[in-house]
Structure 1
């Protein structure tokens, strides 16, 4: 009992520290200080990895790989150059594939029909945005096609699982999917529609959503692992 209470206190302290970092990061994004961004942005991924290490009984290596790839992507997106943006999309592609594989493992997907139906609206939305976009080079365009498919898969998984079985674990997955879709939409709009205007609200908002995606994904994984351990016992 003492150990459990001690772990909970550490978890709450680490969560508080994570959200303090998020607030600092929002301020930095608002003023767009690249030097500080290169320091603080990786701390979001690292903070969630520390949280997971403290709270998880399984400590699945896939979780750390997925978060590490996301860390690299975020760093590559900071300079906002065409070459690094392409590299970021490439790393992000691998990140998405592993993340989807990991989520499917955790939810133990069995019924594929609701999943495929749930994907359809997301595919239409993101491919419509891609088709009306201009100024995207061929390499980035191909990567964005795959990115659109993968984000649609995440949205389909989150929506279908929650509608079929609305429990706490799937609620976290649904929130994760919703935040991921919103974040992807905002980043897509900023990078390929309003890149010349660079509205000051987009970067802090995208960062806030990014932090939310991290934290909610962590909560989903912990709930999924806890449920799996209960089913075994």
Structure 2
């Protein structure tokens, strides 16, 4: 019992550290303090990886690898030039492709209909963003389109899972997907259409929440899988 208590307390400290670093970064983004952003942004994913590794009962190394890709992508996004932003976008596309693969393996669907229905609201949001930013995207249209399509598929699986089985894990996943979708929407609008000071801090808040809820989904699913295997045994 003492060991479990210490682990729980340690995880609480790590979670508090994650959100504290995120809070500092949000403030730094609002005031455009690049020095603080350079110090805080690279810390987020390593802390989250640690939280996941401590909490998971069936650790998924591919998921950890996907978080490492996000970590590198975040570092590229610190630099506000299009070559670095494009590389960061490609890395985030790889992250979403990995997550789609993991979701397909982890979630049992009765067919394609829940996924198709789940994709529709996110597809409308994505098409609206593309319509606003199409002229400004230029040659970057294809890079952001691939990322957008993968985002729609990921979100569609998440919402379809919740429609089919509205449990706690599915709620974590669909909320994470919505946060990710709005993060990308704000990113495109800010970058190519309308720049408002509050957009970037809001994007960070949504992104931090999305990643944390995605980890909670993974832990919930993995712990359920471990419990089912023990009961079957």
Q: Say yes or no: TM over 0.5.
A: yes
Aligned to 2:22: 22
For 1:181 and 1:44, how far apart are their aligned partners in 2?
A: 20
TM-score (norm: length of structure 1): 0.92
For 1:214 and 1:114, how far apart are their aligned partners in 2?
A: 23
Q: Which runs of 5+ in 2 are unaligned?
A: none
For 2:110 and 2:150, how far apart are their aligned partners in 1?
A: 19
Does the Cα contact within 8 Å between 1:77 and 1:84 map onto a contact in 2?
yes
Task: Please give the secondary structure, in 2, of the residue aligned with 1:200.
Answer: coil
Aligned to 1:113: 113
- Structure 1 position 21, deviation (Å): 0.9
Residue in structure 2 matching 1:228, options 219, 225, 229: 225
TM-score (norm: length of structure 2): 0.92
For 2:124 and 2:25, how far apart are their aligned partners in 1?
A: 33
Please identify runs of 4+ aligned residues in structure 1 that moved more than 3 A: none
Aligned to 2:138: 137
Aligned to 2:63: 63
Q: How big is each residue's C-alpha offset from its partner over 1:95-152, in whole Å with a ceiling of 9 and x where there is no partner? A: 11012112222224452221122212322331243134222132x2111111121111
Q: How big is each residue's C-alpha offset from its partner over 1:144-174, in whole Å with a ceiling of 9 and x where there is no partner? A: 1111211111221111111111111111111
For 1:93 and 1:49, how far apart are their aligned partners in 2?
A: 19
Aligned to 1:200: 197
CA RMSD of aligned residues (A): 1.5
Q: How does 1:115-194 map to 2 (within 5 A)?
A: 115-133=115-133, 134-138=135-139, 140-194=140-194
Moved more, 154-163 or 124-133: 124-133
- Structure 1 position 232, deviation (Å): 1.0
Aligned to 1:217: 214
For 1:4 and 1:47, how far apart are their aligned partners in 2?
A: 20
| Aligned length in residues | 229
For 1:118 and 1:214, how far apart are their aligned partners in 2?
A: 20
For 1:27 and 1:124, how far apart are their aligned partners in 2?
A: 31
